[in-house]
């Protein structure tokens, strides 16, 4: 799952990004409203964590523009203000949730997980196919009851394949959904990670390569 953090406090944005990446999310960061809006209009994020008091373009305007554009991303608005009026006005703009500063990272992480499910309501919290069970929120994956010991990227790829339910997933889609904007599309990182994932999944083989198109779990 991919998250965009739009936060002008660089230290806070860096801390949040590191924490969410450790939890398995692919995370992009912007430090002003204009660059954040540009990223959010181009990439289909699961969740946008949006600071309200942004430079260049206010967070309210970013939220308003995203909703007017029809984005389905869950929007979690952050603000230093704690008044009920501000919370209500933020939600009225189209934000899905509101978190006043300061906050505990565990609460933000829980809300991001909840919003990612709300943005795609057909996505069950736990995916199970062919003896494989993936709980992305808990960062666990098993096959026939045995823990697979997957890295965050391997877990993300397996989650994406199970979610596709037989549909072919291209390398480009995997790079877009599991990695962040710093991933080099010219590298073979998807193929290498897929090779490790297949080894950890064991026998019989589960992931099929569809030549010229990508991968699937039949």
Q: Please, what CATH class does the domain formed by 2-119 belong to?
A: alpha beta
Give the residue range(s) of CATH 3.40.50.2300 domains in the chain: 2-119
Per residue in 186-197, pLDDT tens?
778 999 999 999
Topology annotation, domain 126-216: Arc Repressor Mutant, subunit A (1.10.10)
Contact call for residues 218 and 167 (beta carbons, < 8 A): no
Give the residue range(s) of CATH 1.10.10.10 domains in the chain: 126-216
Sign of CA dihedral 66, 67, 69, 75: positive
CA distances from 48 to 164, 209, 218 (A): 23, 32, 32
Quote the pLDDT of residue 123: 60
Question: What's the pTM?
Answer: 0.71
| Residue 91 binned pLDDT confidence (cut-offs 50, 70, 90) | confident
Of all residues in the chain, the percent with pLDDT exceeding 90 is 62
Q: Which of 11-15, 87-91, 199-203, 205-209 has the lowest mean pLDDT?
A: 87-91
Contact call for residues 173 and 215 (beta carbons, < 8 A): no
Q: Helix H segments across the chain? A: 10-22, 33-42, 59-68, 84-92, 105-119, 152-164, 171-178, 189-201
């Amino acid at each position: 799952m991919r998250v965009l953090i739009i936060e002008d406090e660089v230290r806070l944005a860096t801390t949040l990004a590191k924490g969410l990446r450790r939890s398995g999310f692919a995370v992009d960061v912007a430090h002003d409203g204009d660059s954040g809006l540009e990223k959010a209009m181009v990439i289909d994020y699961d969740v946008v964590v949006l600071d309200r008091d942004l430079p260049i373009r206010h967070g309210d305007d970013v939220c308003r523009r995203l909703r007017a554009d029809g984005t389905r991303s869950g929007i979690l608005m952050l603000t230093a203000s704690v008044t009920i009026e501000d919370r209500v006005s933020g939600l009225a703009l189209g934000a899905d949730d509101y978190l006043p500063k300061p906050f505990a990272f565990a609460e933000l992480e829980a809300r991001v997980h909840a919003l990612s499910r709300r943005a795609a309501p057909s996505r069950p919290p736990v995916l199970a196919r062919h003896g494989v069970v993936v709980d992305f929120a808990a960062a666990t994956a098993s096959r026939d009851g045995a823990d697979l010991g997957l890295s965050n990227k391997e877990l993300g790829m397996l989650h994406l394949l199970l979610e596709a339910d037989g549909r072919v997933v291209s390398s480009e889609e995997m790079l877009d959904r599991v990695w962040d904007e710093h991933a080099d599309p010219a590298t073979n990182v998807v193929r290498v990670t897929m090779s490790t994932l297949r080894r950890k999944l064991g026998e019989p083989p589960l992931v099929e390569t569809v030549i010229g198109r990508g991968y699937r779990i039949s």
